Amino acid sequence: MTLPEGLDSGQVEELSERFGPNSLPRERPRPWWLRLAAELGHFFALMLWAASALAFIAGMPELGWAIAAVVVVNGLFAFFQEARAERASAKLRELLPSNVQVRRDGRTTVVGAVDLVPGDVVLLTAGDRVPADLDFLQASGVSIDESMLTGESLPVPRGAGDAASGGTFVAVGDAVGRVTATGSATRLAEIARLTTRAVPPPSPLDLELKRIVKIIAVVAVTVGAVFFLVSLLIGNPLTGAFLFAIGVTVALVPEGLLPTVTLSLAMGAQRMSRRHALVRNLEAVETLGSTTFICTDKTGTLTQNRMSAVEVWTPAGSATIEGHGYAPEAALDGPPEALVAAAQLATGAHAASQGDIEEHDGEWRAVGDPMEAALAALDRRLGGAAEGPIPLASFAFDGERKRQSVVLDGDSSGPGAEAQQVPGTVPATPPELWVKGAPEVLFDLCLGDRARTTPGGTQASARSAGHGAGVFEDGGGSAGDRRGDDAWRTRAGAVLEELAARGLRVLAVASRSLAPAEAEAAARGEASAVVLEQGLVLRGLIGLHDPPRPAVEGAIRQAREAGIRIAMVTGDHPATAAAIAREIGLIDRNSGDHKSGSGAVLEGASLPEDLQVLGALLDRDGVVISRVTPEQKLRVAHALQGRGHCVAMTGDGVNDGPALEAADIGVAMGRSGTDVARNAADLVLLDDDFATIIVAVEQGRATYANIRRFLTYHLTDNVAELTPFVVWALSAGHFPLALGVLQILFLDIGTDLLPALALGGEKPSLGVLKRPPERRHLMDGSLMFRVFAVLGPVEVVFEMTAFAVVLWLGGWRPGGDLPSAGVVAAASGAAFTAVVLGQLANAYACRSASWPAWRLSWGSNRMLLWAIVVELGLLALFLFVGPVARLLGQGPPPLEGFVLAALAIPGVVIGDALHKALRHRLGRGRTHPVLPHH
C-alpha cells in the first residue's frame, strides 16, 4: 500500500493550463432584461398597467403616470434587491471551498477541489465527496453512494481498478484514486447539461409572507370595490369611480414587502458570515431565531479538536506524555518497560491512521483527522519513524464496527523497511493484525482468561509492531495461562473509567498474530475484517486530551438565558462526555454519577423506543447522551420535535445527514465535517465552534424582529392613508378629501421606501438573548393592536386635525362650500406633512417592541438616519417645488398647519410609549425586555 508519488509541480501547472479549473460550467443566468421584465409583468403589475392605460384614455395623465411610476419603482426595487441577494449568496458560497487530500511531489497535501487536474492522485475516506471522475488505485472496503446520479439508494461496492464519478460520495472505506476527468469533461457535467434544476419547495417563512400579502391584497381590493360603489352613489362617472378605486387599491398593496424581507434575510446572512456562520438558504436565518433546543456534538464543537495523546496505559505500566499539540517532541515519564510497550502500541495505532503531522512556518499542525494526527505525533514522540510502518492491508473505520485495523509486517517499522517491502506481498516475518477503536468493543473481541503465544514462542524487538504474548503482555513479555475469571477486563475497565473521568477520549489498541493464509488473503483484499478481528490481545489504552473551547461556557450560559435547552449528543464514553459537560457547565459540576440512565447522563443504547417517552425523558436542560449512533440522533430530533421544539442538530459525519435534514436547523462543521453533512445542513460553522451557533441564533431573532418592524411601519402608514377616504365616504363627500390618490402613491414610492429598508437592516438589540424564543406569527394580535389601535390612530388624529384647522382658518365650515383652491391645497399639504413626520417618528418607535423611542441610540442605525434625511428632503420637494406640488394637488401649509403636523412626532412617540408602559404594567410586555442599543 505504498502511496504513489503523484504529479510534480511542473506537471500540475501544465495540466491546469490545458484543462482549466475543476468546476462545472455554470448555468448561464437569465439576461437582466428578462428578469426585469418578470418583475414588471407579473399578474398584479399587469392589472396596474391596465389601470394606467385607462387613466390616459380618460384624460387623467397625471394619475396614469403615477400608477405607472408605482409599477416601475416597485419592479426596479425588487429587481435590484434580488440581484443584491444573489451576489450575497455567491459571496457566502465562496467562503466554503471544497478541499481534498492529494499526493504531489511525493507528499500528501490539501488543495482545493477546483485545482485538481487529470492525473492527480487523491486520498478519500468515508464521507468525502468524490471531487472528479477517477479510477481507484487502492480501495479498502469501499462503497460509493451514487444516488445523486443513478437514484440507487444503496451504496455500491468498489475496488481497485473500478471507476467513480465526480459528485458521488464515499459511503464506507478509504481509497486512493487517480483523476481521469475534471470540470466539463466529467459525467456529472454531462448530466447537468441535460437536466434542469428543480425548484425547491417554499419555506415556512415564504408561506407566511405570501399569506400576509394575500390578506392585505384582498383587503385592498375589497376596500377599492367599496369606494368604487360609494363614488358611483355620490354621482361620479363610471370611469372616474373606477380610476379612483384603482388608485386606492394600488396605495394599499404592499408590493415592496417581499423584496424588503429578502434584503433583510440577506443582510442577516452576511452578518452571520462575518461571525463564521454560513447560511446555505436565506429562510434558515429567520428559523434560527425560533430555535428552542440545540443538540450538539462534543468533539470539535464544544472542544477545540486539537487532540494530544497525554497518557498511554499498557499492562506493563503507564507512560505519561507532557507535550501538547502536534509537535513530535515531548517529555516522557514512566518505567522503561512501559515506554517500550507504549512505543509498540503507538506504532500499531499510527499504522492504522488516516492522518499525519507536518511543520508549517515553525508550527506543527494536523493533516487529516485530528485524532489520527495525535496518534502520528505520539508515535514520533516515542521514537517511531516519520513515515510510520507500511500496512500490507487495511480495513477502514465504520460506524457499525466502531474500529479500524491494519495488517503489518513484524519488522515493518525498522530502518529501510519501506524500500525492502514489496506492496501486496507477505514477508517472511509473520505479520500481525493491529486494531484500534472503542474500548468496550475491543474488550469483547479480546481473549478471556487464556493466554495466547506468538508462533514459535519468539520475542519481537522493542520497536516491533506487535508480538503480544497474551491478553496483555507483562513487563517481560512472557506469556502463560492467566487463571481467574477475566481479571484483565476488570483491570482494564477500571483504567478506562479513570481516564474517561478525567475528560480524556480513550482509544483501545489490540493485536493478534495472523496465519500466512490469513495475511495473504488480506493482502489480496479477499479477507473479511469481521472474521480477522477475533481473538485479539489487548495492548493498551491511549488517553487523548481535547480541551474545551474557551467561549463555550459563556455561550451555554447565553443559550440558557435565551430559553434554549442544550443536549450533548456524542459517540464518546459516558464518563468522558460527563467530565467535559461538567467542565463547560452543561451539567452540575457536583454531579459525580455518569451511569446510564442516572441524572443527566444517558447512553444511546438505553434510550426508549417510544418517541413520546423519549421526548419526555430528553425535554430538560443539560442532557448528555453518550455512545449515540446516527440512527439514534435521528430519533432524538423527532422526539424533541414531537414535544413542540424547534431543534438545531449538529453533525459532521457521513451518517449524520438524515438527522441534519430532519432537524429544523441542521448544523454542519465547516472544517471537520464531511461533504455529506455540509450538503444536508442549513447552517455551516466555518470555525466549528458551538459559540457561533448562539451568534447565529441572535441574528436569527434580530431578523424576525426586523420583519415585524417594517411590517408595523408599513401598516401604520396604510391606516393614515386610508382614513381620509373613509371619512370622505362616511360624509357622502361633504367632508373634503385630505389626501388624494397621487399623494398616497408618492408617500408609498417616495418617503416610505428607504425607512422601511433601514428597519430591515436593524442590528440585534442588546438583550435579544435575554428572553425566550418567539413562537408567534409575524402578523399577530399584538402587532395588529399596536398598528390599528395605537400608532395608526395617533397619526390620523394629527393628520386630520392639521387638515381641518387649515381649512377652518381659510373660512371653511362643516356643510359649507369649499374655500379657494389655494386653501384646500395648503390644508392637504398640512395633512401630507403630518403623515410624513408621523412616519418619521414611527420609524424610531418601531425599532423596539418594549422601549420608548427616546431610550434608543440615534446613531446605531446609520442607514435609518440617512433615510430620514432623504425623507425630509423629499417632503420639501413635494411641498415647495411648484410643478411637483401642483401635480400632487397640495402646497405649503401656513405656520399653524406646520406646527400641528410637527406635533405628530411627539404624539406618535408618546402614544407608543404609553402603550408599551401599559402592556408592561398589565404583564403583557416582555418579561425580559430587549434593551436599547448603546
Average pLDDT (80-93) is 61
* Ordered structural domains, the chain, with CATH: 9-26+98-194 (2.70.150.10), 277-303+548-688 (3.40.50.1000), 308-545 (3.40.1110.10), 705-928 (1.20.1110.10)
More reliable by pLDDT, 391 or 399: 391
pLDDT in tens, 419-445: 334 444 545 567 889 899 889 899 999
**Per-residue confidence at 418, pLDDT binned at 50, 70, 90?**
very low
| pLDDT, mean over the chain | 80
Confidence bin at 262 (pLDDT 50/70/90)? confident
Residue 377 has pLDDT above 70, yes or no: yes
**% the chain with pLDDT above 90:** 25
Q: Residues 409, 348: contact at Cβ < 8 Å?
A: no
Residue 457 has pLDDT above 70, yes or no: no
All 3 cell numbers of residue 321?
Answer: 506524555
pLDDT of residue 488: 82
pLDDT-based confidence at residue 388 (cuts at 50, 70, 90) = low
Q: How far apart are the first and last CA of the chain?
A: 62
pLDDT digit string (tens) for 159-172?
A: 888 899 888 888 77
Average pLDDT over residues 508-525: 87
Q: Cell digits for 156?
A: 455500491
* DSSP annotation string for 651-712: E-SGGGHHHHHHSSEEEEESSS--HHHHHH-SEEETT--HHHHHHHHHHHHHHHHHHHHHHH
Residue 469 pLDDT greater than 50, yes or no: no
The pLDDT of 145-150, averaged and rounded, is 66
pLDDT at 463: 32
**Stronger pLDDT, 504 or 215, i.e. the higher one:** 504
Name the nearest CA neighbour of 309 among 353, 362, 266, 271. Answer: 353
CA dihedral 269, 273, 277, 280 (to 10 degrees): 50
Does position 831 have pLDDT exceeding 80, yes or no? yes
Out of 115, 128, 174, 297, pick the active-site residue: 297
The burial class, CB within 10 Å (0-12 / 13-18 / 19+), for 182 is: buried
Instruction: Give 196-252 pLDDT, tens digit per residue.
Output: 343 444 556 767 777 777 777 788 788 888 888 888 888 878 877 887 787 677 667
Residue 479 has pLDDT above 70, yes or no: no
Q: Is 3 a residue whose pLDDT tops 80? A: no
Check: CB of residue 782 under 8 Å from CB of residue 920: no
pLDDT band at 355 (very low <50, low <70, confident <90, very high): low
Q: How confident is the model at residue 417 (pLDDT cuts 50, 70, 90)?
A: very low
What pairing do the DSSP bridges indicate for beta strands 601-603 and 308-314?
unpaired
Q: Which stretches of 856-933 are assigned E, i.e. beta strand?
A: none
Cα separation, 599 vs 169, in Å, equals 40
Q: Which residues pair with 179 in a beta bridge?
A: 134
Is the pLDDT at 869 greater than 60? The verdict is yes
**C-alpha triplet 361, 363, 365: angle, nearest 5°:** 115
Q: Residue 900 — pLDDT band, cuts 50, 70, 90?
A: very high
Q: What cell does 24 get?
A: 462545472
Q: How many CB atoms lie within 10 A of CB 44?
A: 16
Closest CA to 631 of 596, 601, 656: 656
What percent of the chain is predicted at pLDDT more than 70?
81
Place of cell 500481525: 432
- pLDDT tens figures, 268-283: 888 888 888 888 777 7
Residue 66 has pLDDT above 70, yes or no: yes
What region, left, alpha or beta, does residue 561 occupy, with left being phi > 0 and alpha being psi -120 to 50 degrees?
alpha
- Any catalytic annotation for residue 297? yes
- Please check whether residue 428 is in contact with residue 519, taking contact to mean a CB–CB distance below 8 angstroms: no
Least confident of 470-484, 566-580, 655-669: 470-484
Which of the residue ranges 115-124, 396-405, 422-431 would you say has the lowest mean pLDDT? 422-431
* Local structure of 140: helix, strand or coil: strand
pLDDT at 195: 43
Any idea which of 45-49, 124-128, 604-608, 844-848 has the lowest mean pLDDT? 45-49
What digits encode the pLDDT tens for the residues 175-188? 899 999 998 888 77
Q: Which range has the worst mean pLDDT, 198-202, 681-685, 770-774, 869-873?
A: 198-202
Does the pLDDT at position 401 exceed 90?
Answer: no
Does the pLDDT of residue 625 top 60, yes or no? yes
Low-confidence winner among 86-100, 237-251, 374-388, 484-498 (lowest mean pLDDT):
86-100
Instruction: Please say if the pLDDT value at position 716 is more than 70.
Output: yes
Res 133 pLDDT > 80 = yes
Q: What is the DSSP letter of 428?
A: S
Query: Highest mean pLDDT range out of 37-41, 411-415, 495-499?
Result: 495-499
Task: Report the C-alpha gap between 437 and 182 in whole angstroms.
Answer: 36
